[in-house]
Amino acid sequence: MKAAIYSRYGTEDQLDVQDVATPEPKPNEVLLKVHAVSINGSDCEFLSGTPAYARINGLLKPRKHILGSDICGVIAAIGSQVTDFQEGDAVFCDNFDRLGGFAEYVCVPASKLVRKPSGLTDEQVAAIPQSGVIAMQSLTTKSPVSAGQSVLINGAAGGVGSFAVQMALVSGAHVVAIDHGKKLNYLRQLGVEEVYDYQALDRQVLTGRFDKIVDLVGGQSVLSIRRMLKPDGHSLVVGGPVRYLISTLVVGTTLSIGRPLSQGILAHQQNENDMLEVARLAETEQIQVPVSAVYALEDIRQAFKALRTQAIGGKVVIKPGGSVKAEERSS
């Protein structure tokens, strides 16, 4: 089978599509023929080896050589202990602890599988498991976002942010979005009216305005975030440099003791119900799955480069088999 392999940390240039042996499922696993797999921020981190926590896959060089966790495919073979699924079933999953999705076939524990919703395409379904679930959990943890509230999403044009802004809008909240200047029109297309370029933003205009802040990229100090919250507001950090996460965990949590205002870190939990709820929102057209481009496996370097250089917002999907080229689907 074909697979995108990397053996050193670095840029997309480290990815090389090679012929490798097709894996065989263990008794509790299935072998999936991969139809689509999306690129997550975690894939970019594991590829580069930064931030420091991304080297959980190996301090000096990666131990797992095929990235890709958010997978949609069809079961090609089942292990001897698998009883809930059969060959030919269309499924999707978040295979974060195993990875292996950037390939024509991958083995996945049957316990991780969710049946594919019939009303969504393979590409749409592959975009949901990590980004859609993190977005949903960021808006419901601590205090669920509700109608009339004001929500700030920093890093709003990425995969998670593109889901989150739409979900917040569906809840009836007023959404303010921050991202790179070249992505502001994309955010407007998602329905956000108040958007800011992070490089030109005067944060004084945001002081004291928000019931909830979701920070997907880090870079803001604990006190800066605190100043933007209402007296009973909540903020959650979802990503960013290690020093920023530690600062939020230590300083933000300490300052919140005994006060209605709170600051914390979102610990993403894989959750089948949340995956299906995001899919339901998409199937009922309350949100759109933000797939901005689809690349063939052979073009995976180009796909990662588009994300690294901020050339594209939303989700980027890889389709093994070479049937789709980037120029046919990118926007």
Pick from 72, 70, 46: nearest CA to 57:
46
**Which pLDDT belongs to residue 249?**
75
Pick from 17, 67, 16: nearest CA to 41:
67
The pTM score is 0.91
> Six-digit token pair at 133?
């679930």
* φ and ψ at residue 287, rounded to 5 degrees: -135, 160
The architecture CATH gives domain 2-130+270-329 = Alpha-Beta Complex (3.90)
Q: Do the two domains 2-130+270-329 and 131-265 of this chain adopt the same fold?
A: yes
At 249 the three-state DSSP class reads helix
Pick from 97, 51, 94, 56: nearest CA to 239:
51
CA atoms within 13 A on the CB side of 23: 24
**Which pLDDT belongs to residue 326?**
43
- The CA distance from 284 to 280, in Å, is 6
> Six-digit token pair at 72?
């949609």
Contact 320, 298 (CB under 8 A): no
Structural domain boundaries in the chain:
2-130+270-329, 131-265
What CATH fold (topology level) applies to the domain 131-265?
Quinone Oxidoreductase; Chain A, domain 1 (3.90.180)
Neighbours of 133 (CB within 10 A): 24
Question: Helix-strand-coil percent breakdown of the chain, rounded to 5?
Answer: 35, 25, 40
Contact 105, 31 (CB under 8 A): yes
User: Residue 84: exposed, middle, or buried by beta-carbon count in 10 A (0-12, 13-18, 19+)?
Assistant: exposed
What single letter denotes the amino acid at residue 202? D
> Six-digit token pair at 79?
């292990």
- The CA distance from 132 to 172, in Å, is 18
**Which pLDDT belongs to residue 250?**
78
Neighbours of 250 (CB within 10 A): 11
DSSP state of 202: -
**Which pLDDT belongs to residue 322?**
54
- The CA distance from 150 to 175, in Å, is 6
Residue whose entry in the numeric block shows the structure tokens 């100090």: 221
- The CA distance from 51 to 42, in Å, is 10
Which residues lie across from 194 on neighbouring strands? 176
Neighbours of 132 (CB within 10 A): 32
Per-residue confidence of the chain (331 residues) as pLDDT tens digits?
Answer: 999 999 999 999 999 999 999 999 999 999 999 999 999 999 999 999 988 888 888 999 999 999 999 999 999 999 999 999 999 999 999 999 999 999 999 999 999 999 999 999 999 999 999 999 999 999 998 889 999 999 999 999 999 999 999 999 999 999 999 999 999 999 999 999 999 999 999 888 999 999 999 999 887 788 889 999 999 999 998 877 777 777 787 777 777 777 778 888 887 888 899 999 999 999 999 999 999 999 999 999 999 999 988 888 999 999 997 545 444 333 3
